[in-house]
């Protein structure tokens, strides 16, 4: 039997095709660290080493299979109970998935697997393994930290949170600690110029294509592309890649994850895997590897594999065979004709602009001297401050400022969270995004029907929702979030830092 076949049916469509074959020896480190192993024989008290190895490899394959699934498939496996899959004649694994525990953008399932070799014979042997499997859910559609959103977002500086926009641009040297979602179907998401993005459990998702270019680029988390993916110029991707189009890795670029392409995969002077951690490539089309490098990878192609001037440690699985240029190519592994199919990228999160509040305002507000704003709702035709000290006193509740026109600030921000004491003290002054009173930013909300602008080096505390452009100034620190309904965030490429704090107002409206 050439393909992985379930003995009992799976409710999910992905069912039987995604699994490492019996030769798979390496499972992700997070799984291996948690594995518990027990060996036994169903027909006698002794188990020989070679039978045990085959059963152990089958059990490893079951854990690898679980780690490659989506939330929907694992939920169905949990509902279905124990399910048996056949790897090859006489070699199976039986998998049981426990109830999930949901995290922030992740889901964790307890998984137990029993691998069996020589099933149904007097030489049958079994291997038991268990591990928690944690996956990223919904391709980032649960934006747990969306500090910036809008039709167009320019990141220039440091962002502690996610970016969700139709078009996302990253200025060189910027850092995004969270996920990035670009919903445009025509504009590529380009990561270049010394940018560091993502983290464990985060996703980089584009409804178009993704390009990661340049030796100083480090992308963490999982990449999902509805188009092509290009990794070049020595860039590093520390996660798996899922592409509807082709995947190209060249120019000394490094991928420390697995690759899934519904089209072709091209490797030229690429670095994938290591002598201690093997990686996997799954492609619907041709996989080509060349460029003189050494890679540690099992390659699965639904058509053919072409190896030229390359050293490969791993097994090749191709329906129409493997071609090699023998003098320059070294393959340390076996060739098979039963490849595992690639997994399609999940859909990106959708962007829905917040709704403009409805209100009536008749007077402007220009603050020209030291001022304290206390809890309440305020309605103005415009809002601005001189270079003054402004206290946001949230000790009595939320501050909501509604402006029908433009809003701007040149104020030094102080925050008062206690009913006692003087607001204008150094302990209440905002100097960076690391203030101890950061959580209070949830209580401050400003809406403008026009634009929102900060002066040079001016900080802001709370959430801003603008109908038009939002322009932080160079050197600004922002605790809260920035959302544009019809305009751009950071239209003049100002360098700033922002830390996300969820807004009470947007959460309830």
DSSP letters spanning 329-345: -EEES-EES-PPPPPPP
pTM metric for this prediction: 0.72
**CA quadruple 345, 350, 351, 355: dihedral, nearest 10:** -170
Contact between residue 300 and residue 22 where contact means Cβ atoms under 8 Å apart: no
Whether residue 225 has pLDDT greater than 50: yes
- Residue 189 is predicted with a pLDDT of 95
Rounded to a whole number of angstroms, the distance between the first and last alpha carbons of the chain is 56
Band (pLDDT 50/70/90 cuts) for residue 52 is low
Closest CA to 218 of 241, 200, 194, 182: 194
> Long-range contacts made by residues 290-293, C-beta under 8 angstroms, separation at least 24?
291/250, 291/267, 292/328, 293/267, 293/269
Give bridge partners of residue 6 from the DSSP assignment. 85
* Helix or strand (DSSP H, E) at 484: strand 476-484
Least confident of 173-177, 200-204, 404-408, 426-430: 200-204
Q: Tens of pLDDT along 416-459?
A: 999 999 999 999 999 999 999 999 999 999 999 999 999 999 99
Gap between the Cα atoms of 387 and 25, Å rounded: 64
Q: Tens of pLDDT along 264-317?
A: 999 999 999 999 999 999 999 999 999 999 999 999 999 999 999 999 999 999
Gap between the Cα atoms of 312 and 294, Å rounded: 6
More confident residue, 1 or 473: 473
DSSP letters spanning 87-102: EETTEEEEEEE---EE
List the structure tokens of 102: 């949901």
What phi, psi does 26 have (nearest 5°)?
-110, 130
CA 189, chain centre distance (Å): 14
């Amino acid at each position: 039997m050439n393909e992985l076949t379930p003995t009992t049916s799976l409710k999910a469509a992905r069912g039987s095709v995604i699994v490492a074959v019996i030769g798979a020896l390496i499972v992700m480190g997070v799984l291996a660290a948690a594995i518990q192993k027990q060996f036994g024989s169903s027909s006698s008290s002794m188990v020989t080493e070679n039978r045990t190895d085959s059963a152990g490899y089958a059990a490893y394959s079951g854990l690898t299979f679980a780690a490659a699934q989506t939330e929907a498939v694992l939920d169905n496996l949990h509902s279905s109970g124990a399910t048996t899959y056949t790897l090859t004649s006489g070699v199976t694994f039986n998998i049981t998935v426990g109830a999930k525990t949901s995290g922030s953008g992740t889901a964790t399932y307890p998984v137990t697997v029993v691998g069996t070799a020589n099933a149904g014979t007097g030489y049958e042997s079994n291997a038991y393994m268990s591990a928690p499997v944690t996956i990223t859910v919904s391709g980032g559609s649960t934006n747990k930290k969306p500090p910036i959103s809008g039709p167009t977002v320019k990141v220039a500086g440091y962002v502690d949170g996610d970016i969700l926009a139709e078009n996302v641009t990253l200025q060189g040297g910027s850092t995004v600690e969270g996920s990035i979602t670009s919903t445009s179907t025509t504009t590529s998401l380009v990561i270049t110029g010394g940018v560091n993005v993502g983290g464990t459990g985060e996703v980089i998702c584009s409804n178009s294509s993704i390009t990661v270019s340049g030796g100083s680029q480090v992308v963490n988390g999982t990449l999902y592309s509805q188009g092509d993916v290009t990794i070049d110029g020595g860039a590093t991707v520390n996660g798996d890649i899922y592409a509807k189009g082709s995947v190209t890795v060249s120019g000394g670029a490094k991928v420390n994850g697995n690759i899934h392409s519904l089209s072709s995969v091209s490797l030229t002077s690429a670095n994938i895997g290591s002598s201690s951690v093997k990686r996997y490539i799954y492609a619907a089309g041709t996989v080509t590897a060349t460029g003189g490098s050494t890679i540690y990878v099992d390659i699965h192609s639904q058509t053919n594999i072409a190896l030229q001037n390359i050293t490969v440690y791993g097994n090749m699985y191709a329906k129409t065979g493997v071609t090699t240029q023998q003098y320059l190519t070294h393959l340390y592994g076996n060739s098979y004709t039963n490849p595992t199919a690639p997994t399609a990228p999940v859909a990106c999160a959708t962007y829905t602009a917040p709704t403009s509040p409805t209100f009536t305002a008749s007077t402007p507000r220009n603050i020209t001297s030291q001022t304290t704003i206390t809890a309440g709702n305020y309605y103005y035709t415009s809002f601005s401050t001189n270079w003054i000290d402004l206290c946001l006193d949230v000790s009595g509740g939320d501050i909501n400022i509604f402006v029908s026109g433009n809003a701007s600030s040149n104020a030094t921000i102080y925050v008062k969270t206690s009913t006692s004491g003087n607001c204008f003290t150094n302990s209440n002054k905002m100097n960076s995004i690391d203030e101890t009173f950061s959580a209070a930013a949830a209580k401050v909300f400003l809406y403008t029907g026009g634009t929102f602008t900060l002066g040079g080096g001016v900080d802001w505390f709370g959430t801003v929702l603008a109908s038009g452009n939002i322009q932080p100034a160079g050197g600004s620190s922002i605790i809260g979030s920035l959302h544009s309904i019809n305009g751009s965030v950071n239209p003049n490429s100002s360098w700033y830092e922002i830390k996300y704090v969820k807004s009470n107002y947007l959460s309830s409206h």
